[in-house]
Structure 1
C-alpha cells in the first residue's frame, strides 16, 4: 500500500508539472495578464485533467454509461493532446533562443544611427560644496530595463512557438483519431510451419485483437471490423482478447455484429486482461451466444490437420483462473502442429516449453501512441509482427481498436490474415 501511494504521488506530481509547463508556454507566455484568453486558457488547464481523471475512473466506479460517454471524448483526447503538445513545446525550446537572437540582430541592423553626443557643458561648483561620494570599486552599472520592443519580440516568439506546437499536436491527434475511427486495415502474413500437412497449405486465419468496445468505440466500430474480416473469406477467425472495456449490460448490443462473422471452421475467442476488468465470465457467455467458441485452457482439432488451443489471460489469476498450459496442451499428439491463442505475448516462453508451433497474440497495440512503443518493448518480448523463439513462432497484432484515447500514432490498427504454409507443399 505504501509503495502504491508513493507511485501515485510521483505520478500526480509529474502530471502537475507537465500541466504547469503547458500552461506557462501556451497561456501565460502568449497572453496578457487579466485578459479573457488567459482566463479561458487557465480554466481549460484545470478542467481538462479533471475530465481525463473522470474518463479513466468512471467505468470502474460504476458511473452511468451515458456519463461515461460524455466524459470519454474530451477526457481521453486531452491525454493524447497533452502528450504531443508537451513533446512539441519541448522541441520548441531549442528553436526559441535562435528566433530571439535572429530578431534581435535584425532589430539592431534596422535601428537608425545614433545621433552625435554633444560635449557636456561645465557646471560651476561652489567652493565649499561637499564632494560627491565615491563609487565602490566593485560596483557594476545597473542593467538597462527591458524595452517595449524587446518585450514585443519575446511575445512574438512565444506565440509562434506555442502556436506551432499546438497546431502540430492537434494535427497529429486528429490524424491518429481518424485512423482509429476509419477502422483497421488488413495485413497479410505468411507463416511456414513444418508440421502442417500439405492439405492445410494456404489455410487462412483472421486474427483480430484489442477491439476495446467502450464509451467511444461502439456498434458501428464492431460492424466495420466484421465486414473487413468477412471480406477476406478466412477459414478460421481468432479473437484474441480485449474485446471490451465495460459490462455486458452496457456493451452487449455493441458486440452483437460479431454474430455475423463467417468462416469455414468457425470463430474462436480467448480472454484478455480487460475482460477481467469487465466481468470475464459474463462476456464469455455472451460471445458464446453470439456464435463464437471460447477456448478457456482447452484445444480443438481443426479439420485441416492441426490443433488450435487457447488459454485464459494471466490477469485471470487474480480470480483463480489464468492460463493453464497443461490442460490446454499437456496430452496432445506433438506430431501435429499446434496454434495457440493467447492474449499477451509474454506467455510465449510457456508456449515454447509445451511445443507450440505458432502463438497468436495482441495486447501491445504496437505501442499505440509513439513513443509508447519503446515502453511496450520493456514489458513484451515482441511488440508487433512475427518473431521466432526456439521452435515457436510468435505473431503479435497491433489490434483493431484503441484503449483510452481513440488515437493511434505510429502504430496503425490492423486485422491480420495469417496464411499457413506447409513445407511439404
Structure 2
C-alpha cells in the first residue's frame, strides 16, 4: 500500500512539474530572445507561487497562528486557481499556434510577391522593347567641393521579432489575460455572495397541509482565513431574505478552530425560520474539531442532528454525521437516525456527502439534501467530482428516493468559482394531494 501511494505521489508530482515547466517555457522562454531578466523572473513567479500555495495548505492544516494563515491564504490559494487556468490557456494555445503561423506565412508570402511591370502602350505599338537607359557619365576625374558632405548611409530597419516570436508573444499574452480574467471574475462572484436558487420537489407522502413548505439549504460555507465574518453575514442575510420555514446547514461550515473562527461564525445566530435552523457535520468539521463546532453552533441557536431525527408537524427531519467521522468513532448511523420511524410519514434527510444516498435509499428516505461537491468549483473540476459522487449538483432520483446536491455558498482553497456558481437553494416541497 505504501509503495502504491508513493508511486501515485511521484506520478502526480511529475505531472505538476512538467506542466509548470511547459507554462514557463511558453510564457517566458519562448517570448524572449535569450537568457535574461524575464526568464529568471518567470522562474521566481512560478516557483514562488507554488511555495505560497504549499505554505497556505500547511499553515491551515497544522493550526499555525491565524494571522499567518490569512497572510498566506490569499496569494497562495489564488495562485492555485491561476496556475490551473494558465496551464489550460497554454494548452489551448497549442491548438491555435500552427493555424496562426500558417496564416502569417501565407500573408507574408503574398506581400513579398512583386508583379511584373507592364510595357508602355506606345512602345508596344512600335515594336520597341523598353530598356533602361544608362546613366550619363562625365569625363574627367570626379571632384568634390570642400562644402560637400559624405553620403548619408541608408537607415537600418528597426529590429522586429520573427514571426515565430510574434506568435509566441500573442499566444502567451492571450493565455495570461484569459487566466487572470477568469480567476478575477470567478473570485468576484464568490466574494459578492451566493445567489438564490429555487427548486420544487414533489413528495408522495407529504400531506396537503405541507404543500409549499420551504427549506433553505446551505452547504460548504467554508469560513476560514479567506472567507470571514462579512461573508457569513451575507449568507445569513440571503437566507433570511427567502423567508424559509426551515433552514438546513448541511456541512463544511468552517476550515479552522472555534478559537480562530468563532467571531466569523457569530452572524449565524441571526438565522431566522419558522421551524428553526438545523446542522449536520461535513468532512471539514472533522479537520477542525467537530465536537467543539457542534457545541458552538448549538450555542448560536442552530440544532445539530448527530445521527438523530425530529418529528416536524408534517414530516420527519433526520440528520447523519459525515463519513469522515468514522475515524473518530463518530461516523454516520442510519439505524439510529431512521430505524424506528413511522414510514408512513415523509422523511427528509440531511447528509453532507452525496455518496450517502445509497444508505438513504435502503432506509426509505424520501429526500436527501447534500453538498460537498461544490459543483466542481473550478471547471473542469466537475468532471473529477463526477467520478467520486453519484450526483455533482441538482436534483436526481434514486429509486423512490430523491437527492438534491447544492453547489454550496462558499469555496474551499481559492475563493474562486468557474462554471459552478455558488448558491443557497430554497427547496419547496410539493404534495401530490394538492
Q: TM-score, normalised by structure 2?
A: 0.88
**Superposition map of 1:2-401 within 5 A:** 2-111=3-112, 152-303=162-313, 305-401=314-410
Is 1:421 aligned to 2:425, yes or no? no
Paired residue secondary structure (1:58): helix
CA positional deviation for 1:112: 7.0
State the Cα RMSD in Å. 1.7
1:15-74, Cα deviation, whole Å (9 max, x unpaired): 111110000000111123343322222210111111111112211122111111111111
CA positional deviation for 1:263: 0.5
Q: Is the 8 A contact 1:222 1:254 kept in 2?
A: yes
Partner Cα separation in structure 2 for residue 4 and residue 74 of structure 1: 29
Paired residue secondary structure (2:273): coil
Partner Cα separation in structure 2 for residue 8 and residue 249 of structure 1: 34
Paired residue secondary structure (2:61): coil
Matching residue of 1:122: none
Matching residue of 2:137: none
Q: Is the 8 A contact 1:310 1:340 kept in 2?
A: yes
Q: TM-score, normalised by structure 1?
A: 0.90
Partner Cα separation in structure 2 for residue 339 and residue 398 of structure 1: 19
Paired residue secondary structure (1:27): helix
Partner Cα separation in structure 1 for residue 325 and residue 218 of structure 2: 20
Paired residue secondary structure (1:13): helix
Is 1:411 aligned to 2:420, yes or no? yes
Paired residue secondary structure (1:308): strand
Partner Cα separation in structure 2 for residue 39 and residue 106 of structure 1: 35
Paired residue secondary structure (1:312): coil
Q: Is the 8 A contact 1:209 1:243 kept in 2?
A: yes
Partner Cα separation in structure 1 for residue 66 and residue 6 of structure 2: 29
Partner Cα separation in structure 2 for residue 149 and residue 327 of structure 1: 78
CA positional deviation for 1:164: 0.5
CA positional deviation for 1:149: 8.6
Which ranges of structure 2 fall in alignment gaps of 5 or more residues?
116-157
Q: Is the 8 A contact 1:208 1:240 kept in 2?
A: yes
Q: Is the 8 A contact 1:32 1:38 kept in 2?
A: no
Number of residue pairs matched by the alignment: 392
Partner Cα separation in structure 1 for residue 203 and residue 393 of structure 2: 20
Matching residue of 1:145: none
CA positional deviation for 1:11: 1.5
- Point out the more displaced range, 25-34 or 190-199: 25-34
